Structure formats: structure tokens, C-alpha cells
Amino acid sequence: MSDPVRREGGAIDRLTALLSKLPGLGKKSAGRILYHILEGDPAYAKLLAVELARLHEAIRRCSLCGGFTETDPCPICADPDRDHGLICVVERPQDLRIIEESREFNGIFHVLGGLIAPLDGIGPDKLKIGELLNRVRRDGARELILAFNPTIEGDTTALYLQKILKDLGVEISRLASGLPVGGDLEYADKLTLSRSFRGRIKL
């Protein structure tokens, strides 16, 4: 028998291969998505193609905070109504977006571009830490909120920043870690439980 992959033609295989490189998609889910597109309105595929083709031209990094934006500086950094003395430090641009969507924060952001991970060869020099120091020194931020994931890398990076920033007179805090709202004690892992004890809140 000839190669089954060749029977349907290259376009399907090329697109399946491309889609299966996306995070969270394997070969099966990429195939399901592809057939959904194929059986659907061609206008949808065209629109998706147009948006993808111009994505990297439309979106750049903000030269101040490092977040994704269509204008530089980004609307957050350029907004005089935000508190520019309060900087939320995040690992990645998508963390910035998640925090913005929660509408919980009215300061500005700083994207580190990663977390310190010695085992992966990521030292402080690979991150935008110099830029953060400049922003604290130059713009006189009075408070930093470190919004890293509660992981070893997040802890390491928070400790490192605390150390190098301690002489600059800036207040530093980190997002609380503990039981998720709506969660169940029974399903909490030991570390989360331990953190929620250490970070318990007086009533």
C-alpha cells in the first residue's frame, strides 16, 4: 500500500503538522481542528490566515514594560491615570494580560521575560532585571509586587530580586499563595497547604 499520508494530499498533512506544534495540541487534536476548519466556512480560514499573517507586524514589545502592544509605549505605560509608583513584576506578557483582565491592579507592569532557572541555564543576566533596576531608580517606584507562579523558579527569582533591591528603599511584596477559592482542603497538595498555613490571615 502507498503512504496513507499522501492519499489525501500534502495540504492536510502540512497544516496538521504545523497545528500539532502548538501548545496543548497533539496530532489527534490538530487533526480534529483541521477537519473542523475544512468542513466550515472558508471565510473563517481566510480570516484566521489574515490575522496570523500580520500578527508579528501588528504586535511589538513595549520599550518600557516589555509587554505586547500595538503602540509604543503601550497604553498601560502611557496612561497617566495609572499609579506609576507601583510596578507589578511578571514572568511573561500573558501574565500581564491575566492580571489586567482581573481588574485588580491599577499600577504599571514589568515583564522579566522568564524566571531564574539555573538548571535550564537561565541566570539573572538573561532576564530584564537591569531594566527593572533602572525603572526603580530612574522613575522612583515606591512598591513592587512580584506576581510569579508559586514554583521553585518563582521563589528563586523573588529571593534574588529582594536581595538586589533591598538598598533601593522600595517596598516588595509577592502574591499570596494558598488554597484556590472554591478549592477543597481534601485535594490540596502538602506544599499548598503548608503555604496557606504560613500565609494565614488574621481575622
Binding interface with a copy of itself (CB under 8 A): 1-2, 4-12, 14-15, 18-19, 21-25, 29, 31-33, 35-39, 42, 44-56, 58-59, 67-71, 74-76, 79, 81, 92-94, 97, 100-101, 103, 106
Q: Please identify, using beta-carbon distances, which residue of 29 and 63 lies nearer to a copy of itself.
A: 29
Q: Please identify, using beta-carbon distances, which residue of 17 and 176 lies nearer to a copy of itself.
A: 17
Q: Please identify, using beta-carbon distances, which residue of 45 and 159 lies nearer to a copy of itself.
A: 45
For the chain, give the number of residues. 203
Helix (H) or strand (E) holding 198: helix 190-198
Sign of CA dihedral 70, 71, 77, 81: negative
Q: How far is the CB of 172 from a copy of itself (least distance, A)?
A: 24
What's 186's DSSP letter?
A: G
Q: How far is the CB of 48 from a copy of itself (least distance, A)?
A: 5
Q: Please identify, using beta-carbon distances, which residue of 9 and 121 lies nearer to a copy of itself.
A: 9
Q: How far is the CB of 9 from a copy of itself (least distance, A)?
A: 3
Task: Report helix, strand or coil for 59.
Answer: coil
**DSSP per-residue letters across 98-162:** HHHHHT---EEEEE-SS--BGGGTB-GGGTTHHHHHHHHHHH---EEEE---SSHHHHHHHHHHH
User: Nearest Cα to 161, choosing from 196, 110, 119?
Assistant: 110
Q: How far is the CB of 201 from a copy of itself (least distance, A)?
A: 26
Q: How far is the CB of 25 from a copy of itself (least distance, A)?
A: 8
Q: Please identify, using beta-carbon distances, which residue of 18 and 164 lies nearer to a copy of itself.
A: 18
Alpha-carbon distances, residue 114 vs 32, 67, 74, 94 (angstroms): 32, 13, 20, 12
Q: Which three cell numbers stand for residue 66?
A: 516589555
Q: How far is the CB of 199 from a copy of itself (least distance, A)?
A: 26
Residues 72, 62 contacting (CB under 8 angstroms): yes
Q: Please identify, using beta-carbon distances, which residue of 107 and 165 lies nearer to a copy of itself.
A: 107
